[in-house]
Chains A and B, each alone.
Chain A
Amino acid sequence: MAKTVPVPERPAAIEDVWVPSVCDGCRSFCGIKAHRVNGVVVKLEGDAGNPANLGRMCAKGQAALMSAYDPSRPAVPLKRTNPQKGIGVDPKWVEISWDKALDTVAQRLRKIREEDSRKLLIHSFDRSVAKFVRTWANAFGTPNHHWGGYYCGNALHPSTYLTVATHQQEIDLDYCNYCVLIGNQMGFMAGVNPNSLSIKMAEARMRGMKVVVVDPVGTNASMKASEWVPIRPGTDAAFALALVNQLINELNLYDAPFLRARTNAAFLVGPDGYYGRDKASGKPLVWDPQAGAARPYDAGVAQPALEGEFVVDGVPCHTAFQLLKEHVRAYTPERAAQITTVPAETIRRIAQEYGTAACIGANITIEGMELPYRPAAAVFFRGAVAHKHGTHHGLAIQLLNMVVGNMFVVGGYRALNIVGPGWTGAGAREDYSGVSYFAAVKIPWGPGASADGYIMPIPPLGERQPYPPEEVHAPDDLGLLALYPVATNISPQVQLSILDPHKFTIPYETEMLIHCRANHMTTKATPELSAEALRRIPFQVSLGPELDETAEFADIFLPDRHALERLDPFPQSTNSNMAAATGFWYWTLRQPVKEALGQTRHWIEVLFELAERAGFLGDLNQVLNVALHLSPEHRLDLKQRYSLEQVGDRLAQTQFGPGHSLAWFKKEGYLKFKRRAIEAYPGPYIQGRHPVYFEHLKRLGEKVKAVADELEIPWDVSDYQPLPEWKPCPDYEASSPDYDLLAVNYKSPFHSLSVTAQNPWLNELSQHHAYVYKVMVNRDTAHRKGLKDGDLVEVESAGGKTRARVKVTECIHPEVVGLAGGFGNWARGRPVAQGQGPHFNSLIPLDTKRMDYVSTAVDACIRVKLTKVTP
């Protein structure tokens, strides 16, 4: 007879709540709801009303539950006892009190600040609190506050800032009919607002939008695309310029009115490559066919000449567009085919399809506004631009958008949030001013125009207007930012400067590093050089939710809270997410949904306390008042230390008025407003022009060279050219027959940065996935080399080596091997991630010959050889 075992009665839930907050699985910050029962979070779901993700949630977000309760999370401050530092070296941590740890750090800070504040380097890629990190560095007085990884490829953002004055980009998937993704997976669970854009992408594909993915790797996007175009790595500019050549020289599929009015295509350029300028005003000239004379570009010439040669004051000048046409003639489909391996007939066909789909000249009416309708666009990301000549690749692809006139119009290309809520462009309908929410959202913004007519950036780069700067001065920061005047990430240079400050005339040596959530050891090229750079810094403080590879070099470790334990006022950033595709403007509060682990503290609160202990709290509050644009009634008292929650409350009330305090956000989760048509499609009302000819780059290059020469720093300015071109990467040609393959990396949709590899659910998913922890080898290549599925191989470059199992596939270019990014960890504090998958960055040498001197991009396609090894 079966024995009956009494089942213990489940205690009634004392607490059973759903709390709104914000995911931290990537940089898109989706709205979530956490299901908490008796203090334990048991489930995370997408917040259905939050436009960031429309209720959806990806694997990374769902799995955050596991990282929050990860038993390997450090819960107390730690002090290093092993003076030796190196890859794999045990720091021999011992526990230390918060008070002792902060006292030690504050004493160092005080000393450095008195001697030379530049000796402190601080960096984080904790995007939720970027504004607070920057203000803290600002108040301390160090210009050295950026040492990020090469996540986006570095050349992405300069290419977009130069052409569309913003940081990120998207396509209007509501109306687009022909979408070209070059080296990226937008809309396929990667990039900005992946959940929302993937829904939009799926809907667009269902209604018939054609998706062409140009990528050496058969990525998630490639496999779902209408057409995958495998391309040889580092040749994207040749592909794009060949399409432009077809559009403007062969097919006559270009938007002449747009080019005249909204770009600098009609500007006259002299034989020296510089604009012909009006003698009185100094402004660039255009040719007025009616008057038969040159006029300043803003003199109201109705229809300036777009093509041709004209003599101005005895000097022969061509229009910028004429020069562009002549320039791209070199990129015939046949030549491009040789460079890219994309067949010439494919290039011709795609150009025809793209140009035709753009519906040049068509208009459409939305919300009563007649707007240009250009339902074709191209976007790019790291895959296209993480190269020696990365900026040229980016600018070449942007030409593809500009020549069809699809900038910020229906169905076309749009950069993220070029205008803010309530923006009313010149010439727009009057009833678009004074919209109801304008009073609530007090942060209007829009692009400006430079004296030469270029579109000017919105914040954050707007702080440094004009962009790019007109003058170049001698730098004194580790990143030599002044010598990279269009760069937005100077990370590789920071590393080079730490290693050899005298070579770059840095008048000090870095004495202290504060780092949080930016794993330098794995996200930069050549771990051995990263280790050497860290060893050169006498004192390192790491903060974070885990003991990662970089923390293993720290002298003091301070445990940060997990995102589910943190309060972060408005982590979204209008320059990195909040895509127009969401249809809304929205601001969300991240709030704790579970009790904090042990003695963990929010690291920004720790920075605030350090400012007080080190004697610069007043400066910090002063900088916060300015940086956050706090209104007079909410400004911080310079003598009082505030919590992040108190600062966030003042920020909320400054931005959204007294009815929207932080308490309101805690209850409601987010504030959202529907975007109006003019905010989604501001193109016709933007005053600044998109450059198709980069005269200012040429001028900047000469200024950079002059300063570098004066400082006697060897500097290559040959890429500061007015028209983009394709130049081979250093590894385009094989230098040795053994190194016959090009290695590239790609993004897995269920991993982000270097963080998620430690998550047990995502690790399990990756272990069972056909590709993610493997090295992708083309079927024919594998056959030639005698490799089969599951073979363990060593992938070796001139920079280093890594190991992985082979996945034989047709989903990779025959000349290429593909490795997903973010793996190959070795830190003791990351036991789940340890030894899982290959470490791609180990293959990349940090070498100025492989660096883009415009953007600082480090070339990420590299010659490798595969050697079968025994486990």
Chain B
Amino acid sequence: MPDQASTVTRRRTPHRRTAAGPRTRVVYIGPLRATVGKGEETTALPTGATVTDLLAHLIETYGAPFRDRVMDREGQLLPNIHLFLDGEELGEQGLDTPLPQRGEMSLLMMLHPMEGG
């Protein structure tokens, strides 16, 4: 995918990393487990970081294989990606939600539903 400005990167909140920022347990559900090579991890982001910032951080960390599975070329979340923040599903509007100081974000990737014989 070309390095075009994406929704996720455009919307990223500018701030500095501080020790007091949100620590988020990120849980990968579905094939994303294999993409990132783990089932969960904990991230530390600067104060004021949002869900978008967390996604941008993960894209930076895991590169194109991760990005291509969660976003389209316009930077929009793919329809088979579902985000849950502390158990509550976030829609597209929820991307600006600030991360809580201690929270859990689940990234669920739904498989392509193969059909037919």
Chain A residues in the interface with B (C-beta under 8 A)? 113-114, 116-118, 125, 130, 134, 137-139, 141-143, 145-146, 148-152, 154, 156-157, 167, 459-465, 470-471, 473-474, 476, 479, 481, 488-491, 575-576, 619, 622-623, 626-627, 638
Q: Which residues of B contact A116 (CB under 8 A)?
A: 34, 37
The verdict on A471 contacting B29 (CB below 8 Å), with A150-B117, A626-B108 known, is no
**A109: shortest Cβ distance to chain B, in Å?**
13
Residues 1 to 57 of chain B near chain A (Cβ within 8 Å): 1, 28-35, 37, 39
**A823: shortest Cβ distance to chain B, in Å?**
18
Contact across chains for B33 and A471 when beta carbons are under 8 A apart: no
The verdict on A623 contacting B113 (CB below 8 Å), with A463-B79, A464-B80, A470-B73 known, is no
Determine whether B72 belongs to the interface, using a CB cutoff of 8 Å to chain A.
yes
Contact across chains for A471 and B73 when beta carbons are under 8 A apart: yes
Contact across chains for B116 and A148 when beta carbons are under 8 A apart: yes
Contact across chains for A463 and B65 when beta carbons are under 8 A apart: no
**A505: shortest Cβ distance to chain B, in Å?**
13
Q: Which residues of A contact B79 (CB under 8 A)?
A: 462-465
**B26: shortest Cβ distance to chain A, in Å?**
14
Docked complex Cα distance between A807 and B115 (Å): 36
**A147: shortest Cβ distance to chain B, in Å?**
10
Contact across chains for A488 and B114 when beta carbons are under 8 A apart: yes
Contact across chains for B117 and A117 when beta carbons are under 8 A apart: no
**B57: shortest Cβ distance to chain A, in Å?**
21
**A494: shortest Cβ distance to chain B, in Å?**
10
Greatest chain B CB density within 10 A among A139, A167, A575, A626 is at: A626
Q: Which residues of A contact B82 (CB under 8 A)?
A: 626
**B78: shortest Cβ distance to chain A, in Å?**
8
Residue of B69, B108, B112 touching A622 (CB-CB under 8 A): B108
Residue of B1, B72, B87, B110 touching A463 (CB-CB under 8 A): B110
Determine whether B60 belongs to the interface, using a CB cutoff of 8 Å to chain A.
no
Contact across chains for B115 and A461 when beta carbons are under 8 A apart: yes
Contact across chains for A142 and B113 when beta carbons are under 8 A apart: no
- Chain B 79-98, CB-CB to A under 8 Å as 1, else 0, gives 11010100101000000000
Contact across chains for B29 and A463 when beta carbons are under 8 A apart: no
Docked complex Cα distance between A116 and B36 (Å): 10
Greatest chain A CB density within 10 A among B30, B109, B115 is at: B115
Residue of B1, B28, B34, B116 touching A471 (CB-CB under 8 A): B1
Contact across chains for B1 and A157 when beta carbons are under 8 A apart: no
Docked complex Cα distance between A58 and B37 (Å): 50
Contact across chains for B29 and A622 when beta carbons are under 8 A apart: yes
Contact across chains for A473 and B68 when beta carbons are under 8 A apart: yes
- 26 residue pairs A–B, Cβ–Cβ below 8 Å: A117-B33, A118-B31, A118-B34, A138-B31, A141-B30, A141-B31, A141-B33, A143-B111, A148-B114, A151-B116, A157-B116, A462-B79, A463-B80, A463-B110, A464-B112, A473-B64, A473-B65, A473-B68, A474-B65, A489-B116, A490-B114, A575-B115, A619-B30, A622-B84, A626-B82, A627-B110
Docked complex Cα distance between A425 and B73 (Å): 30
Docked complex Cα distance between A167 and B113 (Å): 12
Q: Which residues of B contact A167 (CB under 8 A)?
A: 115-116
Q: Which residues of A contact B116 (CB under 8 A)?
A: 148, 151-152, 154, 156-157, 167, 488-489
With A464-B112, A489-B116, A491-B117 given, name 18 new contacts (CB 8 A): A117-B34, A118-B31, A142-B31, A148-B114, A148-B117, A167-B115, A461-B112, A461-B113, A461-B115, A463-B110, A471-B72, A473-B1, A473-B69, A489-B117, A619-B29, A622-B106, A623-B29, A626-B89
**A190: shortest Cβ distance to chain B, in Å?**
14
Contact across chains for B114 and A145 when beta carbons are under 8 A apart: yes
Contact across chains for A138 and B111 when beta carbons are under 8 A apart: yes
**A66: shortest Cβ distance to chain B, in Å?**
25
Q: Which residues of B contact A473 (CB under 8 A)?
A: 1, 64-65, 68-69
Q: Which residues of B contact A464 (CB under 8 A)?
A: 79-80, 112-113
- Which are the 3 A-B pairs with shortest beta-carbon distances? A151-B117, A460-B113, A141-B33
In the complex formed, the residue of B with least CB distance to A155 is B116
Q: Which residues of A contact B111 (CB under 8 A)?
A: 134, 137-138, 143, 145
**A313: shortest Cβ distance to chain B, in Å?**
25
Contact across chains for A623 and B112 when beta carbons are under 8 A apart: no
**B84: shortest Cβ distance to chain A, in Å?**
7
Greatest chain A CB density within 10 A among B30, B80, B89 is at: B30
In the complex formed, the residue of B with least CB distance to A489 is B116
Residue of A134, A143, A151, A479 touching B31 (CB-CB under 8 A): A143
Contact across chains for A488 and B80 when beta carbons are under 8 A apart: no
Q: Which residues of A contact B89 (CB under 8 A)?
A: 626
**A562: shortest Cβ distance to chain B, in Å?**
22
Contact across chains for B30 and A623 when beta carbons are under 8 A apart: yes
Contact across chains for B30 and A139 when beta carbons are under 8 A apart: yes
Docked complex Cα distance between A134 and B109 (Å): 12
**B4: shortest Cβ distance to chain A, in Å?**
12
**A126: shortest Cβ distance to chain B, in Å?**
12
**B83: shortest Cβ distance to chain A, in Å?**
11
The verdict on A139 contacting B115 (CB below 8 Å), with A463-B80, A470-B73, A627-B110 known, is no
The verdict on A138 contacting B65 (CB below 8 Å), with A470-B73, A626-B82 known, is no
**A507: shortest Cβ distance to chain B, in Å?**
9
Docked complex Cα distance between A526 and B31 (Å): 31
